[in-house]
Structure 1
Amino acid sequence: MGEIQRPGALYQQVAAEIRSGISAGEYAPGAPLPSEAQLIDRYRVSRPTVRKAIAALRAEGLIEVIHGKGSYVRAVPAPAVTIERTITRSGKNFRTGHHAWQRVEAPTIYRTTTTATTGPLLELAEGEALFAVDRLLSDPDTETRALHRVLIPFATAAETEQRVLVPFATAAETEQLGKAPDTEPERIYAIFTAAGHKLTWDETVGARMPLPDERAALQIPDATPILHATLVTLGTDRRPLILEELRTSADRAQLAYRNLARAYESTGDLSRAITLHEQALTDQQQVLGEEHPSTLTARTNLARAYESAGDLSRAIPLYEQTLTESVRLLGDDHLSTLTARTNLARAYESAGDLSRAIPLYEQTLTESVRLLGDDHPHDAHRAR
């Protein structure tokens, strides 16, 4: 870094030099930058030029200015909180990943209309009437804040600052929501389910700079983006029922999408894993049908959980059904069929029924060699 070369906006050149120093590691995260006087002397520019350069870097989020101390390279800390976005169900009860977050203030309920953005997500025209419920929530452990917006046919929302927008058209089938649009989302899911809906969810996540009111409510520093998650609850025939928007600071929180059943399996909690796998299979059968590939996967997951729990009497029929459906839908030489045949063979072997296991292993080996070659990793099962 040396004297600035003219022509060009001097403050931009100074900012570029400091930015390069940060990228090269000359200034580590959390380290102070040289003082104004040092920067003036180094680059032989005026004090206003240095201040404009610092302001530009601050706006980019590269540095932070601490009153009375100076400018520091902004550290990139690990997120303070992980928000689980998986919605779980136990019997008639639903739970979101931020159910334990606390209200910072009372929710605000009002009427509004769909916009060019929210209307298509709810399959409504722009200008359709909605109920709205805004909530500002805080994580009790980290004090991280979030804003949550829900757009629903007459329902309400959530837990971080949450805004719920509810189309009036849906209130007719869920009268309770029309009377109490500030109903919590988990309760809304239960109401829809009791009304006969088979719920599924679609979610997209983006990042953007916050609006002034969002920045103030979330208490986030300058030049910090927010995460903006948009979750649509879909009912029978994938009809949109509600839309929820979760907004939180991108440097304080991260969103997690996990297969909770698999997580329970990994910790040895097979009873809860099996319950979730059973529910998943039922949902896939009802929403997508018996022949959908996702239903085959859900059936295999449940069979594997039963097998892990030592319940082969329930695992084997599921493996048999999966193999039958895979052969019929995908063909006898499809890789998914080879896997299904191997799973069934392994289950037979575990049950001590070698007379049925061995022919399946032999057939799988023959098909695998023919399709993939003699040295493909998929042939590892030949050691059986």
Structure 2
Amino acid sequence: MPMGYREIAAALRAAIEAGEYSPGAQLPTEHDLANRFAVSRETVRRALATLKAAGLVIAATKQGTTVARPPVRLALSHYAAAVDPARPGRGMGPWETACAEQGVPGRVEVDEVVRVPAAADLAARFGVAAGAGLVRRARRMFAGDDLAQLQVSHVLAEVAEGTPLALPGKVVGGLYAALRVAGVHLVDATEEVAARLPTGAERETLDLPDAVWVLETWRTTRDSSGRVVEVLHSVSDARRVARVFGALPIG
């Protein structure tokens, strides 16, 4: 009995995970796979679509179907390290640092830097009155050519104004490094991470196929007085980003 597309997808997945096809390598052509598994090319296409939805391969081209890179492992420690002005690679932000550690070219593109009044939900996270001044920084994080994450940071305007945080363009070294230079003593951060289906706009922007989920993260950062100085909201392609929480206390 011929194999179904799910079985073919499972067989190809096992080969990828075993290292038979490394990241960046091309799978055999649809024609060759159809011959190997004795199925139609349509069945092969459905198997490849399943692997694409799982983030294991990228879209087929004339050159074939390419094995995707593993997700970027993004740890909160990358942000904590950014406050050290003597760290290696201090010109890179946390995202670029995480990518570089994994041998992936990472870059950040800034979409918008603008002052806004705090909406009710953000005001509650900051513990300030609605309408309080915030600086909004919207960014896109790329791993290679793949748009992997959308980020929007809000910083108290009283903290950001007069610093690079309120200016257009990329902040060298990342937001935490800029806060430190501005004299803010960062103490702790809380992250809330949840998986959900993307909105239509997120699906279009991140170029997600059907049935792919996103990771939504809310991060709240406080200074030594307990004041919330930054709230970050990020939406990540769950195939491209893994959140890592290391050295957590257990007692």
Bucket of the pairwise TM-score, normalised by the shorter protein: 0.5 to 0.7
Letter in 1 for 2:95: H
Q: TM-score scaled to structure 2, two decimals?
A: 0.59
Secondary structure of the structure 2 residue equivalent to 1:28: helix
Name the structure 2 match of 1:252.
240
CA contact (8 A) 2:195 2:214 kept: yes
**3-state SS of 2:141 partner:** strand
Residue 102 of structure 1, aligned match among 96, 99, 107: 107
Shift of 1:196: 5.0
Equivalent-residue separation in structure 1 for 2:165 and 2:84 (angstroms): 26
- Residue 238 of structure 1 deviates from its aligned partner by 1.6
Compare the two structures and name the one with the higher strand fraction: 2
Cα deviation digits, residues 64-96 of structure 1 (max 9, x gap): xx9897645834456533223312143466675
CA distance in 1, matches of 2:118, 2:194: 20
Distance in 2, matches of 1:80 and 1:178, equals 28
3-state DSSP class of the match of 1:175? coil
Check the 8 A contact 2:126/2:231 in 1, yes or no.
Answer: yes
Any conservation in 2 of the 1:133–1:182 contact (CA below 8 Å)? no
C-alpha separation in 1, matches of 2:240 and 2:166: 36
Higher helix share: 1
Deviations 1:288-344 (A, max 9, x none): xxxxxx9xx9xxxxxxxxxxxxxxxxxxxxxxxxxxxxxxxxxxxxxx9xxxxxxxx
Match of 1:215 in 2: 203
Give the whole-Å Cα distance in 2 for the aligned partners of 1:210 and 1:244.
18
Is the aligned partner of 1:30 residue 2:16?
no
Q: Which of 71, 76, 84 is matched with 1:90 structurally?
A: 84
User: Structure 2: which amino acid aligns with 1:74?
Assistant: T
Return closer, same or farther for 1:110/1:90 CA change in 2, 3 Å cut-off.
closer
Contiguous gaps of at least 5 residues in structure 1: 1-24, 32-65, 154-167, 263-293, 298-335, 337-384
* C-alpha distance in 1 between matches for 2:165 and 2:142: 27
1:193 paired with 2:180, answer: yes
The amino acid of 1:241's aligned partner reads V
State the match for 2:118 in structure 1.
114
Q: Equivalents in 2 of 1:181, 1:169: separation in Å?
A: 17
SS in 1 for 2:114: strand
Q: Secondary structure at the match of 1:30?
A: helix
Structure 2: where are the runs of 5+ without partners? 11-40, 57-69, 98-105
Give the TM-score, by structure 1 length: 0.41
Partner of 1:59: none
Partner Cα distance (2:162, 2:185) in 1: 15
Q: Does 1:227 align with 2:221?
A: no
> Paired residue for 2:64?
none
Partner of 1:138: 142
Partner of 1:326: none
